[in-house]
């Protein structure tokens, strides 16, 4: 009898571990956006609002807690020591770390209502004519993942660029610095670029390089998928039509969620070859 119950216990443990975090009673998530403003404490109301929304779908058996990271190293440490069930991660984070943390895309954000993002290398109006002639520092809030950013915008690793990429938490200030010649340039995403173009500052800049269409920040599942993964994706995709989610989506700065972008498969960094991305 003792041997029987030992087997039952081992089987129970096996299935709980194999099916991920949900069966253990948790659907915790992490929002990982290096370079974005705010602190964990300042973002806590937004994380709690999303957790409460999902909790209403799940019932009391499964708990949900959100975590916010706008710095890369603490985020990676958290994923190693306290891996959540799912998260919303910056494209560069996905490109560099999808394999290490078994990230499976299950939905996509839609900032500004866009299904795709575009990055722009901006310099002052009187700067050099080509990015190949640019020297100095180039800032951007998506540049903390330097290798991914260089590959996404230039198709080259960072050590083959004529300038240095550096992350910043203040892209608008960096844009003004580029216009004044204090830094070589700034990289802006689609929403940031549209915002700057609508300002008087927009007449003082020029575009030296435009990326191809890029995936927006993906919603990913960490580790082996479980029975709740598709349900979670469905709840997120349904938020756009849910009146109760309108304010929450505004706080999350996304015009709803869409299906996972199939193009994400193109953005896995190839660590073994000289090429930026695997075919």
The residue-averaged pLDDT of 21-48 equals 88
Q: Which residue has the tokens 């960072």?
A: 158
Q: What's the pLDDT score for residue 14?
A: 32
pLDDT at residue 24 in the model: 55
Is 70 exceeded by the pLDDT of residue 19? no
Per residue in 57-88, pLDDT tens? 998 889 999 999 999 999 999 999 999 999 99
Please name which of 9, 16, 70, 63 lies closest in space to residue 43, comparing C-alpha atoms.
70
**CA dihedral for 109, 113, 115, 117, sign (positive or negative):** negative
Least confident range from 6-15, 65-74, 102-111, 198-207: namely 6-15
Q: What SS3 state is found at 209? A: strand
94-105 average pLDDT score = 95
Lookup result for tokens 């839609």 = 110
| Backbone dihedral angles phi then psi of residue 110, each to the nearest 5 degrees | -135, 70
Fold of 2-114+215-267: D-Maltodextrin-Binding Protein; domain 2 (3.40.190)
d(CA 35, CA 188): 12
pLDDT value, residue 59: 85
CB atoms within 10 A of CB 49: 15
pLDDT at 148: 94
CA distances to 23, 105, 248 from 251, rounded to whole Å, are 29, 22, 5
Whole-structure pTM value: 0.88
For the chain, the domains span: 2-114+215-267, 119-211
According to CATH, the topology of domain 119-211 is: D-Maltodextrin-Binding Protein; domain 2 (3.40.190)
Q: What is the mean pLDDT of residues 207-220?
A: 97
Strand pairing class (29-32; 66-69): parallel
- pLDDT bucket at 267, cuts 50 / 70 / 90: confident
Burial annotation 129-161 (CB, 10 A radius, 16+ → b, else e): eebeebeebbbbbbbbbbbbbbbbbbeeebeeb
**Structure confidence at residue 203 (pLDDT):** 96
Across the range 3-17, mean pLDDT stands at 34
Query: How far is the C-alpha of 226 from the C-alpha of 22, rounded, in Å?
Result: 8
Q: Rounded to an integer, what distance in angstroms lies between the CA atom of residue 163 and that of residue 178?
A: 13
**Percent of the chain residues topping a pLDDT of 90:** 82
Res. 274 pLDDT band, cuts 50 70 90: low
Query: Given its phi and psi angles, is residue 143 left (phi above 0), alpha (psi -120 to 50 degrees) or beta?
Result: alpha
Q: Which tens digits make up the pLDDT trace of 103-120?
A: 999 999 999 999 999 999
The order of strands in the sheet holding 163-167 is 163-167, 136-140, 185-188, 120-124, 205-210
pLDDT confidence of residue 12? 33
Contact 43, 5 (CB under 8 A): no
**CATH topology identical between 2-114+215-267 and 119-211:** yes
């Amino acid at each position: 009898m003792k041997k029987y119950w030992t087997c039952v216990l081992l089987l129970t443990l096996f299935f709980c571990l194999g099916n991920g975090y949900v069966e253990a009673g948790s659907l915790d998530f992490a929002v990982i956006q290096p370079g974005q403003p705010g602190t964990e404490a300042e973002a806590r109301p937004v994380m709690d609002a999303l957790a409460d929304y999902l909790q209403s779908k799940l019932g009391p058996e499964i708990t949900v807690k959100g975590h916010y990271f706008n710095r890369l190293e603490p985020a990676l440490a958290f994923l190693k020591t306290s891996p959540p069930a799912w998260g919303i991660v910056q494209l560069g984070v996905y490109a560099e770390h999808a394999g290490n943390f078994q990230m499976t895309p299950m939905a996509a954000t839609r900032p500004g209502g866009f299904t795709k993002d575009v990055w722009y290398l901006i310099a002052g109006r009187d700067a050099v004519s080509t990015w190949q002639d640019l020297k100095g520092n180039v800032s951007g809030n998506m540049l903390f993942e330097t290798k991914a950013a260089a590959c996404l915008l230039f198709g080259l690793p960072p050590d083959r660029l004529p300038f240095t990429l550096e992350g910043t938490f203040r892209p608008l200030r960096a844009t003004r610095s580029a216009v004044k010649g204090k830094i070589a340039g700034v990289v802006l995403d689609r929403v940031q670029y549209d915002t700057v173009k609508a300002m008087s500052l927009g007449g003082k800049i020029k575009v030296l390089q435009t990326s191809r269409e890029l995936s927006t920040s993906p919603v990913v599942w960490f580790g082996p998928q479980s029975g709740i993964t598709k349900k979670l994706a469905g709840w997120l995709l349904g938020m756009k039509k849910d009146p109760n989610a309108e304010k929450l989506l505004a706080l999350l700065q996304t015009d709803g969620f869409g299906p996972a972008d199939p193009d994400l498969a193109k953005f896995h960094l190839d660590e073994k070859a000289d090429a930026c991305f695997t075919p």
